[in-house]
């Protein structure tokens, strides 16, 4: 494990799932960790688990909220834009509000987080990481707005990486497949509702996307983020790293 003593990291969407796993892994590696999210209850739960973790209530879709988040946290060596959400519907039945919600949290939220993080990043450089999805590398039926947003995140990462490559800052995206998190639980419930499948069959329908026949664990995302912050990843820049068992 990389030693992150003396570094400060900020993780959005840090109250649950991959965000909580990242926060805990970075705290265990010695970093001071700020977790940001909209649920104060979830923030209290994660901050109670480690003395190095502090919480900030923030909405990544709101520019002023993101500015206030960084004003509270101060300069951070590692910024992890993890906050996200997923909704599913047939494309022809997707209304404009649903489209804007998906773009807002999954793309605009990443833009605002990385932009403000970059503006206050220490002179010695650091790491900017977006938690995207395999949906940023391929299409999935019934989640066109989500996939469009995640494709946008990867385009943003690739462009920004070239722009700031000489500043001792790397920018990368981690792209997990279906993860063993509450988001996947909601996807299972949605499949059950719309198809009449039982829970076991609905969950199996998700795991079949992964050639290994399994859901990605949040800790795998956390370990990848830790690796990206190490000296061995200094040349890893502008990449979309798939954690998918070979799906992409």
Show which residues are catalytic: 146
With a CB cutoff of 8 Å and minimum separation 6, the contacts of 73 are 8, 10, 34, 36, 56
All residues at 6 or more sequence positions from 48 whose CB lies less than 8 Å from its CB, including other chains: none
How far apart CA 223 and CA 184 sit, in angstroms, is: 20
CA atoms within 13 A on the CB side of 42: 18
Contact assessment for residue 226 and residue 209, using Cβ atoms and an 8 Å cutoff: no
Residue owning tokens 């019934």: 142
CA distance 82 to 113: 10
> Edge-to-edge, what's the strand order for the sheet holding 126-131?
53-57, 32-37, 8-12, 78-81, 126-131, 169-176, 240-243
Two tokens, residue 78: 């590692």
């Amino acid at each position: 494990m990389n030693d992150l003593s003396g570094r400060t990291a900020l993780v959005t969407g840090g109250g649950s799932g991959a965000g909580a796993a990242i926060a805990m892994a970075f705290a265990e590696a010695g970093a001071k960790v700020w977790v940001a999210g909209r649920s104060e209850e979830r923030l209290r739960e994660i901050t109670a688990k480690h003395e190095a973790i502090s919480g900030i209530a923030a909405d990544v879709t709101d520019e002023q909220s993101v500015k206030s988040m960084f004003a509270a946290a101060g300069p951070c060596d590692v910024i992890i834009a993890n906050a996200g959400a997923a909704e599913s519907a047939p494309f022809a039945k997707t209304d404009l509000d649903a489209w804007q919600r998906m773009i807002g949290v999954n793309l605009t939220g990443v833009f605002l987080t990385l932009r403000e993080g970059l503006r206050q990043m220490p002179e010695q450089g650091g790491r900017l990481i977006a938690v995207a999805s395999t949906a940023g590398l391929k299409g999935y039926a019934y989640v066109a707005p989500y996939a469009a947003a995640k494709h946008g995140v990867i385009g943003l990462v690739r462009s920004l990486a070239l722009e700031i490559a000489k500043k001792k800052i790397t920018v990368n995206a981690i792209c997990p497949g279906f993860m063993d998190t509450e988001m996947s639980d909601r996807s299972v419930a949605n499949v059950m509702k719309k198809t009449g499948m039982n829970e076991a069959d609905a969950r199996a329908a998700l795991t079949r996307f992964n050639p290994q026949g399994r859901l990605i664990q949040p800790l795998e995302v956390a370990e990848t983020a830790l690796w990206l912050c190490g000296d061995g990843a200094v040349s890893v820049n502008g990449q979309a790293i798939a954690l998918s068992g070979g799906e992409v």
